[in-house]
Amino acid sequence: MSEKVRLAEAEQYKEFTSQEVGVKGVDQAGIKRRRRPLILKVLVVGYLLLSWFGWMRMAGGLQDWSLLSAYLSGGMLVYLLAGGVLWGLAGLVSAISLWFGMSIAPWMSRVTASVCFIWYWLDRLFLTRTPLADTNLLFAGVATLLLLAFAMTVPALPRLKRFIGKGS
């Protein structure tokens, strides 16, 4: 090995070891990493909750299959389970894509929010017909509109576009 190569390697090692470990945005190898914005973390938690509720819907339908089959048709039971699986998968894929800053994340986030919003309201207005369903209709409407607006606008924020890379 030539003297120039040894000196260059020694200089690189010196630079590497002289870097402070624990500096914000720099990992132990000295590689600059992207920090996740807080608003992104909030959106990811929201999608993880959506996913969890979807999987719980599916698990509840499977667990209480015999009881539910006495009150619901076979098609409605399949709808219940399929809805749980869809919400579970969509929430999970959206959360993972946002967390890792995948280029598909903004699109997936918006599609998941839109589909779940429409699905919720179609289900609520046409399948859930009880006197109690209308008691908090105003609250449900305002809450779902705010959640939809949040999920639609967060991927368009400049800081999140920088995190994702390609943007939306």
Q: Whole-angstrom Cα distance, residue 130 to residue 142?
A: 20
Mean pLDDT within 104-121: 94
**Given pLDDT bands bounded at 50, 70 and 90, which one contains residue 16?**
very low
Distance CA 152, CA 108 (A): 10
Residue 125's pLDDT band (cuts 50, 70, 90): confident
- Contact between 60 and 53 under an 8 Å Cβ cutoff? The reply is no
Most confident by average pLDDT, 57-71, 79-93, 126-140: 79-93
First to last CA, the chain: 50
Position 110 scores a pLDDT of 95
- Distance, CA of 9 to chain centre: 43
On the question of pLDDT at 22 being above 70, the answer is no
Task: Let me know if 10 is exposed, middle or buried by CB neighbors in 10 A (0-12, 13-18, 19+).
Answer: exposed
Q: The dihedral of CA 138, 149, 91, 111: what is its sign? A: positive
Domain extents for the chain? 1-33, 35-164
d(CA 14, CA 126): 69
Spatial CA neighbour of 84 closest among 107, 63, 60, 118: 60
* pLDDT (mean) for 39-54: 96
The residue that leads in pLDDT, 10 or 65, is 65
pTM flag (> 0.85): no
CA-angle at 82, arms to 60 and 109, nearest 5°:
105
Q: Does residue 6 carry a pLDDT above 80? A: no
Mean pLDDT of the chain: 83
